[in-house]
A and B are shown apart, each in its own frame.
Chain A
């Protein structure tokens, strides 16, 4: 069963901006799906259309087989959304925000209160239930929006940059929480600028740029497309110049840090053999950047380069 199916989805805003240019996308039930793209690529517009906050220009949207043009209310009842921007009444109490949201979905008050307690406890907000929401910290506000999105127990949860501006400790606890929600059967669509987050959590991925899907693949398959990686080696002793290594390009970042390009064909074992042979001892090693980030930048830059070339400029 497809949790989400988009076909030929288009959005042209009244100012003439074409935000979506015929998107086709399918997300399987139970998936943890990443929808990535640079700012202004069309992610939030797509989510806005799926959640009926934005009117589409053309195309079809189905939520678990329910077309939003014909069965909007059923389709809406299956979606929970955590938006990018804070969108609850900042003068309302935390508990009331969650309980009222349940009421909008037709959940009786007693059950709404029980669920509000459950999700506020799970998201470590129960102690704050009687506080005015404005007084919460940024991370708490994000978690409140997750509790609110879950209170009607949706089959599809859309997280639009849920960890933006959240410190790493809370971010990781939120990852654990949403991973648990997904394992319990909820389909999750995640947009994020933290590509490490997408790589850790998601099984499938689509990359959107300038209103078009430019990549749609399984995460592991996509990462396999990356034929080279850059690693940074922290050396035990300083070097005056970069060593010459057969099959590896390297340069000194500073006298104790060596950057090495590792291709699929060469692997990493040969690198250490050669360094050992030259008497260079390595203290530690880390990736120069996240693997998905490398791929993402490559895809987006390639597209921009092709367009510039087509327009007569230099890529």
Chain B
């Protein structure tokens, strides 16, 4: 297809995804907002007051970037995994597969949909955070670029999960048993400098640690990880996941017989 036709195809997928997010807002936008409000009240306000300063910031300020990033990650992932698997399960993915949309465009379109939801929820959680604490923007470019790249990474991860999934249980396993533990252990609630050296090393194997810390650097200017390392890790994941998704789509794994 020519560039213009590809652009129209991309717009169509993104608009379809946005309309889905808005149509089912009580499933897509409301739950993370409620969950994060509870985190701020319980961890930030009630428990955080007894914890004192962390890296020079009060606890509420310290965990706010991590909680925003946690919602970006889970919602980007959740959007693509449920939308793409739903289309596969309901067979209406065939609408795209029989069309001249190239495989890479189907991936990029869904990735953009996942990023849109991740960022919408991220903005909503940021607004809630501002009711509880002051957030000073240390670097807007870092904050935005890390949020965009991280949401892209987890949108692609969600897509790969959906490609392999055969039943609805399969799309819940990864978020429950992998994504949530990695997020909780990814420096959302604490600095890894508080851990013994061995566990600091183990924590460095967790990619979410780099994303959370890079985002925290963007907002607060503090991080357990070097910014360059964090960007490198995020970009490597982005390239590897995109290539994997493209290869799976080309082979037709899980979507073509």
Give me the interface of A with B, judged by CB distance under 8 Å. Answer: 13, 48, 51-55, 72-74, 76-77, 79, 81, 83, 85-91, 96, 100-101, 103-109, 148, 152
Contacts and interface: CB of A to CB of B under 8 A. Distances in A.
B99 A101 contact: yes
B98 A53 contact: yes
Interface in B234-257: 252, 256-257
B102 interface: yes
B16 A100 contact: yes
Nearest to B93: A87
Contacts of A87: 90-92, 94-95
Chain B, interface SS category: helix
A109 B14 CA distance: 14
Contacts of B4: 106
Given A52-B256, A53-B97, A55-B252, A106 B8 contact: yes
Contact of A53 (B6, B90, B256): B256
Given A52-B97, A74-B100, 8 more contacts: A52-B256, A55-B252, A96-B16, A100-B12, A104-B9, A106-B8, A109-B8, A148-B95
Report the contact-size class of chain B (Cβ under 8 Å from the partner).
20 to 34
B145 interface: no
A190 to B, nearest CB: 17
B94 to A, nearest CB: 5
- Quick one: which of A55, A77, A83, A87 has the most chain B CB within 10 A? A87
Contacts of A107: 8
A101 B101 CA distance: 11
Contact of B101 (A79, A89, A104): A104
Given A53-B256, A55-B257, A73-B1, A106 B100 contact: yes
Pick the most buried of A54, A83, A105: most chain B CB atoms within 10 A of its CB: A105
A83 B97 CA distance: 13
Contacts of B100: 72-74, 76-77, 104-106
Nearest to A13: B257
B180 interface: no
